[in-house]
Structure 1
Amino acid sequence: MYKTPIPGSFLSKLDKDIVKACKTNSNEIKNIQEKVEMFLTEVDERIDFIKVHPTSTKPPTDYIPVKPLSTTPRKIPQPSPTKLKILKRNKKSSEARHSIEALMKTQEGFNNKKSKDELLFGLQKSLVNIRTPCIEDLYSKILKNEHSFETYKNLRHNTEIDPFKIFNQVCSNEKIPPVPILSKIQDDSLILNRYRISDPMCSALSDALSFLPNLIKIHLDENSITDFGGMTLLKGLILQKHIKSFYYTHNEIGANFSKVFKEFIATCPLTELNLRGCKVMGNHLFDLVKCLHICKTMKKLYLSEIGFPNNCVERLSRYVKRSGINELDLSWNQISQEASLKFFKYMKFNKHLTMLDYSWNNLGSEEGDVCIILNNMLMQHPSLMHINLSYTQINENNFLSLTPGLQTSKTLICVHFTGNNISQRKINAMMINLIASYKQVFISDSANKVYHPAQAISIQTKSVTSTLHNIKFRDRTGKCISSHRDALANIGNSSSYNDRLNGKEIKEVIFSKYLGETTIKDLKNWAVSEHCWVCERWVPFTLKISTLMLENICSVGEYKWNMQTLVPVKLKCSYNLWEDIPLEEYDSNVYEYVSILPPGRHRFWVIINNSDVCVTKQFSRRKWDGYIVNEITVPIRNYDLEPIEKIKETPLAFDKNKSVFKNFVEDTEQTRKIMFENDKKHLKLNRIIKDEAILMSVYEVLLSNYAVIKEIFDATSARSNYPNIGWLDFSSFCEQCQLLDNKFLNRSAIDRCFIAVNVDLDDLDDNPQQELCRYEFFEIIVRMAMFKYQDLPLNPGEMTQKLIDDHIVKYSDPSLAIKFRREKLYCNDVNDLLEANLINCQSLFTKNRERLGRWISLEGYKRMVAKVGFKLKEEDIIKAYAFSKMSILDEMASADSYDRLVFVEFLESLGRLSNALYGNLEISLTEMMDKTLEALFIKYGLKKRAPEVAKEENSDDLDN
């Protein structure tokens, strides 16, 4: 396990080298120590002489030292050699100023370069017969690493660690130029492609990486990194812990790299790994493949040009079979037929792969066993969209055996067959079969959204990264080299723009189709092409031309165009070698062209009536080879593609008229007006408001606030006395809304208002005497307002509005029944669950309905909940029942409807009941209802059905 560097870690490699040298050259080290002691003794004597004769430069010939010079060096007890011990010795005497060891550690006295060189020269001269280890080299390394240790220690104790200083310091220690490669870090990415990185620079880079802010991408392409350098880099990357994309191409991989790679891939959440073209030594490729299973986040894996033995292919196949990889590149590996057979057998069980490059491997044979297995895989795979089978030695029989796979695949859109021994006659036969069996399916980007050309893609004025793959060329090995070449219209025949390899014509053979866009008519079916719109990342594009914005530049006769199309308005565009593109009329004087275009810069003209060559003022105009043309820049597609069964531009909107709730009548402005007119007939406000105009203003206020007041009435009545409001509940309501004051609206005034509205002048049987029904609730609001604000210069309508705004709406609790219904209940998931279990819900409703009716009473609903054993308060059960009721237009004419829950209301109540039971859990309403339905159905001997199972059964029924 690699740990965070500690102070002194820069010395570790040097220390190990010194210790190793000491162990392997113990005899030479002993001789070195003896001669060093002799030399140091001489140095000390020289110091003694300088003390006694400070003005003299040389000792006299008859000089006798204070202490006679020993003829033999002093013996020092020798323990086993350890780090930097070879230069330790005892001081000659107390007068000695410094030992060489002290000088080396402190660097004091060595500031003078001349003195240092003289001392080293003398020391080296005395050791001339000892070749290794070189004492000067050891001395330099000790000085360097002492300084490195101090620098590193200072940086470690600095709260603001600068990785650039670390990198520069280590480069200085290693005597390599500190090239500013860290300055290439942008957008959490370090891209160092085609830049030679030596082992010392890998060490410097590794140490700097351990202190850099979190990086996401590390791309090292063709850096000539050795196995040891790669290992050193990985140790630094492990400390990053957030690497998602790692490119390590055309470098060296061996035992050192493989050992650390396992920890690296376990530590970092890799989604993209590219080892293309790496030189893998020994059997370490198997080690790499073996540890891939550790990474559960991998999405893109590129292992081309590294050479795969059979055992590695099988191991990789087992990994890909169960992984979530969607892009896999195994090209240029010379994989054998035997290994390919096993690979495609495993791929039949893969569920996520969308892009596979298997070019330059061996698939073709007379028996065609591999292609038969490949065909079965194409027929069964649920997501494969693009496969490259170029240069795989497929013969004509193998090619035709793949026809069923291309015909029946639900997702396949591009297949490359370039470089195989296939005649044009067989290609035509395959194409006829594909066109005849074509079925429309769809694709999307990685966000499951289809780009609709009608929405267009904004035209960028400049494009730095995108290039147009218009004309393709290859090198001598057959690798494709893409370049952009515009063809002048005067050149004429486009056949001269064929790909060439050593003078021999080579043609791309790509079977492709574009799915999901019915507006792109020319590309939705299978066709043979020399371009792959998936590989080249083409994008849907819409071009709209207004004939009112055209400017004539010349006539058609000045050009030598072939194959003219007689249409009123057409394009001549560089991307298709200036062939005619008819424009369809979109609107008056506006024509439209919708297609998928390759990224890059394109030039075009607009041809009117087959006679005038025009440019439009709507797009940029440029001079190009002496011609005025329009220019557009098409951006490169920056999203990945995924197959889907049907188009998903946006999630399907909930359609109530096609749902199980279609019979539920919601409140509208019209129904609220009808309810108010029915309630107004029973109001007694004309007894306290004599002025007809003022009374009408009060009615207008009540009608304009009818929705919110009714919802507050429903919430208050559902507390206990449903469907009315009792005195205790109303008293609590007044306190909650802070209606009481010490002036006019006191407790006594509220009592009088409550008694007054309960006087029944019409002798209504369904109107309780000591409770408030709906119309009485509206009336008491007006009466309380006239009490409370009687000292204000306001008319009764203004008083009523003020009371509603300042107290009723501000402090009361509405039922929120409508909000729950529209935001949670009315959705496709809930509808699918209820629709799948509609028969069970009808059985449940029947078992609990009243004997002589087609409804469930409140008491019957309570009994159902109690029977299942749901632990709910009575108030919660009443709310689930009451809030699920449709509004009663005339409650005095049909008050018993409040106690009759019909089937569509029963379905809604199941959602509200579920929310009351599991609303404290962080799960969707659908999951809550799933739990509730399962408990209800089990108690009543019914079996819940999943929506998916119900859809499959319905589909089977239709097929039969």
Structure 2
Amino acid sequence: MELKYVSPAIERNFRKRYLVNSPSTSLNSENSSSKLHSSSHTPISMYKIPSPGSFISNLDKDIVKACKINSSEIKKIQDKVEMFLTEVDEKIDMIKAHPAGSKSPIDYMPVKPLSTTPRKIPQSSPTKLTILKRKQKCPEARRSIENLMKTQKDFHNKKSKEDLLFKLQKSLGNIKTPCIEDLYSKIIKNEHSFETYKNLRHNTEIDPFKIFNQVCSNEKIPPVPILSKIQDNSLVLNRYRISDPMCSALGDALSFLPNLTKIHLDENSMTDLGGMTLLKGLILQKNIKSFYYTHNEIGGNFSKVFKEFLTNCPLTELNLRGCKVIGNHLLDLVKCLHACKTMKKLYLSEIGFPNNCVERLSRYIKRSGINELDLSWNQISQEASLKFFKYMKFNKHLTMLDYSWNILGSEEGDVCIILNNMLMQHPSLMHVNLSYTQINDNNFLSLTPGLQTSKTLVCVHFTGNNISQRKINAMMINLIASYKQVCISDSANKVYHPAQSISMQTKSVTSTLHNIKFRDRTGKCVSSHRDALANIGNSCSYNDRLDGREIKEVIFSRYLGETTIKDLKNWAVSEHCWVCERWVPFTFKISTLMLETICSVGEYKWSMQILAPVKLKCSFNLWEDISLEDYDANVYEYIGILPPGHHRFWVINNNTDVCVTKQFSRRKWDGYIVNEIIVPIRNYDLEPIEKIKDTPLAFDKNKSVFKNFVEDTEQTRKIMFENDKKHLKLSRIIKDETLLVNVYGVLLSNFAVIKEIFDATSARSNYPNIGWLDFSSFCEQCQLLDNKFLNRSAIDRCFIAVNVDLDDLDDNPQQELCRYEFFEIIVRIAMCKYQDLPLSPGEMTQKLIEEHIFKYSDPSLAIKFRREKLYCNDVNDLLEANLTNCQALFTKNRERLGRWISLEGYKKMIAKAGFNLKEDDIIKAYAFSKMSILDEMASADSYDRMLFVEFLESLGRLSNAVYGHMEISLTEMMDKTLESLFIKNGLKKRAPEVAKEENSDDLDN
């Protein structure tokens, strides 16, 4: 047979596909391989075509399964495989004869007639499965491609060769089908990919437009002029029909286009497969911030690549309006949204959301930073709406919400009640569209508190709901106490001429009022395309397209912008939404020195007049008078919010003259000279007028985990002192009753500080009492010793005298000071130290307390720590989130027969956690966390019984003892401490945020 030429591109295509996917095994019999290639296939073997065994990789599983089921079927399967091989041989002969075409001609006849009888393959034992043994990969495949690259010096670079090989493999990596004939046809069909990359071998700079044009040429499809559609790093291909081959070409081109940030594809009739191909090219951009993919198809293929796209691109705006979602892939699409952390604007209207998708989306919105959300026209049920607004109560960033054409209204009004709570609590929501949501009168009035208390809400749409005018008036009375007409109320499709006082239809391109958000007779938005991305549009070209509209808009609106705009602060009912229509603040400054009188007021029939030195008559408010305020000498000013577009006005001076001013352009309008202005469209997004700071709520102990902790008060201190006074022996040294009462008064007035000093001293070693050595150190620290009366012997005598127990109290240790004895010894030391001074015992005690005890001693500061650090919302949130774990930890370490933890049990718990603390620090954490004992002699064992609320406080003090040297907050210290304690006891710490989200997620309980 004559050797015929085979295209290098086809050969590389052929080698690349089958050599990559063939397993690295060889046929058991080399003779069989040689026989298969012996007859009439010499040219192919010269090109080192792989053995037939490498073509059946997709039949492995079928053959193995067949062999295991019935060994008698092996011969039939081998015959079937041989038939495939025979057809492939004939296809190769055809390609050799016609290398330039991918399809055989109509009159094509095979060079060799197709054999009806398959060639015989030597049979082997079925159990050995020799037909599955493969020949090892042919190493010439990669070398042949590398030799091809060596024609250009740039590809001597190892990195360049590897990059090209990777692109070649990626281009054909998605071609997977079990049928060899289909595989081969797809390889031929994708020949353009190899041709494109072959041409790129000789280009040092990649031109994406050449790639696109080359691919379109190979596919024989007309290319879209994408170069002319790219402006300001934005590609807008709205309403172009984009087929799958076009998507493939765009995907190749988009992967090389530089610095694209916006891709808008609206109504392109793209399929699921085409969308996936396009997304693969967009992933390589990595800078896409705005992606519009509306009225196209979304399925499993798109969803798989969509998650990677959201992960790699810093997307801030996503629009999937009106997309046809195949099967149940909407839930997969919503799950993909969790991969995007930068989303700010999300439009998911006209898709159709089942309940499970709404709940999943709500979880994402609750945690995200999305500012603008559109869920209109989805027919969301009441049940799903109820959960949605429950989740929205925890959102803090949303400013714009379109929930129109969903179901909210009901006789019970549960959804509207939850919605009202959300409006009252939300810190940034400004605009809500509730049109056509089946809201009735009762539902409508239930939203009144939300509109009244919201600090940021400015516009709420109620169009198309079953609301009576009486209820609208009642709402207005509740909002502003009296109805006030403002300039936002106007007819959408008519303009009044001041001379005629009648309405006339607007037909000219210079329509007075303009709607940016156009709607049809049913209220559905029908024209919201934004083809000019850099600037939303030129306001002077907008026309009023609401002529003949039968639906009357019902919009509650107010303006919370500049403080100089005073008339719009109150709520009013309007047919216009200045937020949707992108109205902007505008300032008129009129100088009376530049006025030019054109006629007198009497020539016009004014319908309304107000008395003002200088006033405006403008078209944007139906030519009603607008008074100007004095700005400066001979200068008057008006600041208002105006719709974009053309507006005309006159200046009325002294209520007599109709004037125009030279400060604005003048035009003739219907035979009259008027001033004319063009108000631009607002091209910036709205934010709350005043940033609502998240001021932390004041800590409320009664609502915290410490609510059962009883702090010291004046009343409790008095009770403690009265109980201690019963055991004092001061009457033995102070005989005068008056002087004794005076001493008691001094001790009671200083009780709080002295008790703190006692707690700090007793916590050093002999808790809950003070030993002799500790008291000696205390006297030295307070510099009580002198060389006159108070020496060590005198202090010892005082210590012994105080420890004499006249009442024979069992709970009073003989060699230590309890609380009442500490008060008594202070009085005895004062009377000993100052016995030569003409002072009463009370004055001596006060002098000693002020000059020595308070001045040199160290109080426990337990109360200060509790008030300044422990009692705060952050600590409470952490403990509240882990309250169950803390209770379990407390139960594991408490005494067997009691509901408390002893000091020894507390020490064991800390030792088990591995904290390296001194015993003094542990005792202080335990002692300072205890509530005061009102009568310690009646219940002295209470000092060794730590209750659960005391245990919670001790966790904070323990954390400060362990991590106090670190410059972190107490909450962070406690977080580390709890983690260590919980791990050693088989518990798991929970973060406050996770606990709140879990609690909020379980909204039905």
Query: TM-score scaled to structure 2, two decimals?
Result: 0.49
Structure 1 CA distance for aligned equivalents of residues 450 and 113 of structure 2: 79
Structure 1 CA distance for aligned equivalents of residues 248 and 969 of structure 2: 66
Partner of 1:51: none
Partner of 1:406: 451
Distance 1:540 1:238, change over 3 A: same
- Select the residue among 268, 292, 316 that pairs with 1:271: 316
Partner of 2:422: 377
How do residues 579-618 of structure 1 correspond to structure 2 at under 5 angstroms? 579-618=624-663
Distance 1:10 1:575, change over 3 A: farther
In the alignment, does 2:461 pair up with 1:475? no
CA contact (8 A) 2:560 2:569 kept: yes
Distance 1:118 1:241, change over 3 A: closer
Structure 1 CA distance for aligned equivalents of residues 11 and 410 of structure 2: 57
Structure 1 CA distance for aligned equivalents of residues 510 and 183 of structure 2: 50
How do residues 444-463 of structure 1 correspond to structure 2 at under 5 angstroms? none
Partner of 1:164: 209
Structure 2 CA distance for aligned equivalents of residues 126 and 8 of structure 1: 21
Q: 1:146 deviation in Å? A: 5.0
In the alignment, does 2:237 pair up with 1:251? no
CA contact (8 A) 2:512 2:647 kept: no
Structure 2 CA distance for aligned equivalents of residues 238 and 161 of structure 1: 18
In the alignment, does 2:464 pair up with 1:386? no
Q: 1:557 deviation in Å? A: 3.7
Distance 1:231 1:9, change over 3 A: farther
Structure 2 CA distance for aligned equivalents of residues 308 and 377 of structure 1: 21
Structure 2 CA distance for aligned equivalents of residues 413 and 167 of structure 1: 48
Structure 1 CA distance for aligned equivalents of residues 666 and 692 of structure 2: 37
Structure 2 CA distance for aligned equivalents of residues 516 and 295 of structure 1: 32
Partner of 2:109: 123
Partner of 1:454: none
In the alignment, does 2:335 pair up with 1:349? no
CA contact (8 A) 1:474 1:500 kept: no
Structure 2 CA distance for aligned equivalents of residues 80 and 127 of structure 1: 13
Partner of 1:515: 560
CA contact (8 A) 1:124 1:136 kept: no
Q: 1:336 deviation in Å? A: 0.4
Distance 1:243 1:595, change over 3 A: same
Q: 1:118 deviation in Å? A: 12
Structure 2 CA distance for aligned equivalents of residues 942 and 128 of structure 1: 84
CA contact (8 A) 2:90 2:112 kept: no
Partner of 2:221: 176
- Select the residue among 464, 482, 491 that pairs with 1:419: 464
Structure 2 CA distance for aligned equivalents of residues 498 and 425 of structure 1: 30
Distance 1:469 1:506, change over 3 A: same
Structure 1 CA distance for aligned equivalents of residues 573 and 272 of structure 2: 44
Q: 1:465 deviation in Å? A: 15
Distance 1:8 1:637, change over 3 A: farther
Q: Which amino acid aligns with 2:684?
A: Y
- Select the residue among 326, 348, 352 that pairs with 2:371: 326
In the alignment, does 2:254 pair up with 1:209? yes
CA contact (8 A) 2:90 2:110 kept: no
Query: TM-score scaled to structure 1, two decimals?
Result: 0.51
Partner of 2:619: 574
Per-residue CA distance 1:743-790 (angstroms, 9 max, x = gap): xxxxxxxxxxxxxxxxxxxxxxxxxxxxxxxxxxxxxxxxxxxxxxxx
Count of aligned pairs between the two proteins: 543
Distance 1:347 1:199, change over 3 A: same
Structure 2 CA distance for aligned equivalents of residues 147 and 83 of structure 1: 27
Distance 1:125 1:481, change over 3 A: same
Q: 1:517 deviation in Å? A: 2.6
How do residues 77-92 of structure 1 correspond to structure 2 at under 5 angstroms? 85-87=88-90
Q: Which amino acid aligns with 2:681?
A: I
Structure 2 CA distance for aligned equivalents of residues 366 and 10 of structure 1: 71
CA contact (8 A) 2:275 2:297 kept: yes
In the alignment, does 2:605 pair up with 1:619? no
Per-residue CA distance 1:392-438 (angstroms, 9 max, x = gap): 11111011111111111122111111111111121111112111599
Structure 1 CA distance for aligned equivalents of residues 90 and 663 of structure 2: 82
CA contact (8 A) 1:599 1:636 kept: yes
Corresponding residue SS for 2:415: helix
Q: 1:593 deviation in Å? A: 1.1
Q: 1:301 deviation in Å? A: 0.7
Question: Percentage identity across aligned positions?
Answer: 80
Structure 2 CA distance for aligned equivalents of residues 643 and 479 of structure 1: 28
Q: Which amino acid aligns with 1:121?
A: D
Corresponding residue SS for 2:292: strand
Residue segments in structure 1 that go unaligned for 5+ positions in a row? 1-6, 20-32, 41-75, 90-98, 111-115, 439-463, 484-496, 649-846, 852-933, 947-960
Q: Which amino acid aligns with 2:641?
A: I
Corresponding residue SS for 1:324: coil
- Select the residue among 352, 355, 359 that pairs with 1:310: 355
How do residues 540-579 of structure 1 correspond to structure 2 at under 5 angstroms? 540-579=585-624
Structure 1 CA distance for aligned equivalents of residues 511 and 302 of structure 2: 35
Q: Which amino acid aligns with 2:195?
A: E
Corresponding residue SS for 1:181: coil
Corresponding residue SS for 2:209: helix
Distance 1:136 1:169, change over 3 A: farther
How do residues 616-765 of structure 1 correspond to structure 2 at under 5 angstroms? 616-643=661-688, 645=690
Distance 1:140 1:642, change over 3 A: closer
Task: Quote the RMSD (CA, aligned, Å).
Answer: 4.7
CA contact (8 A) 2:519 2:546 kept: yes
How do residues 23-102 of structure 1 correspond to structure 2 at under 5 angstroms? 85-87=88-90, 101-102=95-96
Q: 1:149 deviation in Å? A: 2.0
Structure 2 CA distance for aligned equivalents of residues 37 and 164 of structure 1: 45
Partner of 1:536: 581
Q: Which amino acid aligns with 1:123?
A: M
Distance 1:84 1:148, change over 3 A: farther
Q: Which amino acid aligns with 2:430?
A: M
Q: Which amino acid aligns with 2:623?
A: W
In the alignment, does 2:478 pair up with 1:433? yes
Structure 2 CA distance for aligned equivalents of residues 80 and 121 of structure 1: 23
Corresponding residue SS for 2:684: coil
Partner of 1:152: 197
Distance 1:10 1:644, change over 3 A: farther
In the alignment, does 2:285 pair up with 1:299? no
Structure 2 CA distance for aligned equivalents of residues 334 and 270 of structure 1: 27
Distance 1:594 1:476, change over 3 A: closer
Partner of 1:230: 275
CA contact (8 A) 1:310 1:336 kept: yes
Distance 1:425 1:373, change over 3 A: same
Q: Which amino acid aligns with 1:282?
A: G
CA contact (8 A) 1:227 1:255 kept: yes
Structure 2 CA distance for aligned equivalents of residues 429 and 240 of structure 1: 55
Q: Which amino acid aligns with 2:213?
A: N
Distance 1:145 1:404, change over 3 A: closer
- Select the residue among 408, 413, 418 that pairs with 1:368: 413
Distance 1:498 1:558, change over 3 A: farther
Structure 1 CA distance for aligned equivalents of residues 510 and 113 of structure 2: 61
Corresponding residue SS for 2:349: coil
CA contact (8 A) 1:198 1:224 kept: yes
Q: Which amino acid aligns with 2:197?
A: Y
Structure 2 CA distance for aligned equivalents of residues 127 and 429 of structure 1: 91
In the alignment, does 2:286 pair up with 1:241? yes
CA contact (8 A) 1:517 1:524 kept: no
Q: 1:477 deviation in Å? A: 2.8
Structure 1 CA distance for aligned equivalents of residues 602 and 473 of structure 2: 37
CA contact (8 A) 2:515 2:581 kept: no
Corresponding residue SS for 2:107: helix
